[in-house]
Structure 1
């Protein structure tokens, strides 16, 4: 209960009778000091502990990944300290920008790559991906397995080299698709983690699609995957570290900002 001061015509402070009586009944009345109303010992300790010393620097908050809103950040596991953030130009755009971030326990997230131009699906993005919808699923997904038609360039991820990583024909813009699967990283959307990207088991059912990878860019939109230019793809493979529990955070910029 608060203490109410009343100043009399003689310049003295007194407690109003009703408030004083309430304090006495509550058993929390405290003696006054010459400097003003007294504070109970427990209150002194709490106030002192909560307030920094005058002039003391205020600790900086750990940095967050730019452009990600609280809803998106909440889906990044606390155990992950590596995140590839792919921001689409718009919900219906097939063009994106990818940046690799790493988290320090004290200072927070920091970009460790240059912005990499990327492609996503022809029709943009969706939070409810279906097989054949030509949209890339929005969300935060683990990155744990790699592979490709070419030999392992030195990644720390498990790497499956196989002739089955082949793609021929032309893309949506008439561009050749050959070589797109020279190197891939499986995105853990509707797949069994810890297996080759070629594994066709779909835990959520075939209707939810699958085989969503990061692969070498062929110069046009994808069916659902994320594609990076060849040199950038190689840099990503060399940087990803299973000990850092890497994830991909992907979607159009507006959705990721929520």
Structure 2
């Protein structure tokens, strides 16, 4: 029995020697593994092959805890006042060791991509709610003549807006509560434009005046009182004549009186501008609206023949003319 115990002791001693020899060899040649701890750094973990399984499990747990603590936090970029989503992270494999000392690759879940921020133009303004049924439509914008004092006294206004000796001419009529343009054309005024005037100045009188009777070589069908020109028809413009600034029939009147029959083109269709009805000498006389001959006038307003004929056909007694140098001036009257 004693010899058996001695043999077992010698075997144990030999086994321990073998183990110690292997251990020394392993310590001289350690195994090095690279394990990504997170997305940005790599750590070297040295594991001795003689470590027990419990030691390996402890190392694996330590590695996982370290990697989790170093994970990148969610980031957001800010650009031009709007939030931008962080870039989607790709899955990165992590490495652990099993009991046999080999590497296990485990795919880690990528972080959830943040919801995309709103992009594009700013949201459009909400539209105004539709008007309920039965709501009257808004009134259209009215022309300057609607804002004049004259609009309360007459339903017809001829506007003449000059630029030098040229002019833009429009005829407005009141229809119900609105003013409607019935005629629009270009023509001429006096050689010296529109402004304060007197006899012989070749300037169209500035301001608002009633339109008087119509006259011409033929009646186009006007509702105004009409006088037809004869060989004896004159407009007296001699300031010394008691009949100054009136229509007269006669053989002769002193200059600068006007023999109407000498102007068959201009006076084919015409209407009197009631200026200086008090017949103050030298204040000015003989101002009409008549047919245009393509040149400036001596103080009258002229427009193309077709438009002049139409004007006489739609004019009614009580109409006014407004002579100005800018459209904004119409409101003054």
TM range (shorter): 0.5 to 0.7
Instruction: Give the match for residue 196 of structure 1.
Output: none
SS at match of 2:282: helix
Question: For 1:160 and 1:221, how far apart are their aligned partners in 2?
Answer: 25
**Residue 110 of structure 1: CA displacement?**
1.3
**Residue 58 of structure 1: CA displacement?**
7.6
Instruction: Give the match for residue 244 of structure 2.
Output: none
Instruction: Assess if the C-alpha contact under 8 Å between 2:224 and 2:315 holds in 1.
Output: yes
Question: For 2:203 and 2:212, how far apart are their aligned partners in 1?
Answer: 22
The counterpart of 1:111, out of the listed 181, 196, 212, is 181
SS at match of 2:152: coil
Does 2:190 align with 1:121?
A: yes
Instruction: Assess if the C-alpha contact under 8 Å between 1:98 and 1:116 holds in 2.
Output: yes
- Choose between structure 1 and 2 for higher RCO, CA contacts under 8 A separated by at least 6 residues: 1
The counterpart of 1:188, out of the listed 247, 252, 274, is 274
> Residues 132 and 69 (structure 1 numbering): CA distance in 2 closer, same or farther, change over 3 Å?
farther
> Residues 167 and 220 (structure 1 numbering): CA distance in 2 closer, same or farther, change over 3 Å?
farther
> Residues 204 and 60 (structure 1 numbering): CA distance in 2 closer, same or farther, change over 3 Å?
farther
Instruction: Give the match for residue 98 of structure 1.
Output: 169
Q: What are structure 1's unaligned runs of at least 5 residues? A: 1-53, 169-176, 192-202
**Residue 99 of structure 1: CA displacement?**
1.0
**Residue 249 of structure 1: CA displacement?**
1.3
The counterpart of 2:208, out of the listed 140, 164, 167, is 140
Question: For 1:80 and 1:250, how far apart are their aligned partners in 2?
Answer: 16
Instruction: Give the match for residue 26 of structure 1.
Output: none
Which entry has the higher C-alpha Rg, 1 or 2? Answer: 2
Question: For 1:63 and 1:103, how far apart are their aligned partners in 2?
Answer: 14
**Residue 64 of structure 1: CA displacement?**
3.2
Question: For 2:170 and 2:159, how far apart are their aligned partners in 1?
Answer: 5
Does 2:301 align with 1:226?
A: yes
> Residues 58 and 209 (structure 1 numbering): CA distance in 2 closer, same or farther, change over 3 Å?
same
Q: What are structure 2's unaligned runs of at least 5 residues? A: 1-130, 234-258
The counterpart of 2:198, out of the listed 130, 144, 164, is 130
Aligned residues: 173
Question: For 1:84 and 1:241, how far apart are their aligned partners in 2?
Answer: 12
**Residue 61 of structure 1: CA displacement?**
5.5
What are the Cα deviations for residues 214-254 of structure 1, in whole angstroms up to 9, with x where unaligned? 01111100111001111111000101022xx2111111116
Question: For 1:105 and 1:60, how far apart are their aligned partners in 2?
Answer: 15
Instruction: Give the match for residue 16 of structure 1.
Output: none
What are the Cα deviations for residues 167-222 of structure 1, in whole angstroms up to 9, with x where unaligned? 64xxxxxxxx652112210011113xxxxxxxxxxx14122102110011111001
Instruction: Give the match for residue 102 of structure 2.
Output: none
User: Going by fraction, where is strand more abundant, 1 or 2?
Assistant: 2
Instruction: Give the match for residue 210 of structure 1.
Output: 285
SS at match of 1:206: coil
Instruction: Assess if the C-alpha contact under 8 Å between 1:88 and 1:96 holds in 2.
Output: yes
CA RMSD of aligned residues (A): 2.5
Question: For 1:160 and 1:133, how far apart are their aligned partners in 2?
Answer: 27
The counterpart of 1:65, out of the listed 143, 155, 173, is 143
What are the Cα deviations for residues 19-49 of structure 1, in whole angstroms up to 9, with x where unaligned? xxxxxxxxxxxxxxxxxxxxxxxxxxxxxxx
Does 2:314 align with 1:247?
A: no
What are the Cα deviations for residues 106-125 of structure 1, in whole angstroms up to 9, with x where unaligned? 2x211112x21110000111
Question: For 2:140 and 2:154, how far apart are their aligned partners in 1?
Answer: 15
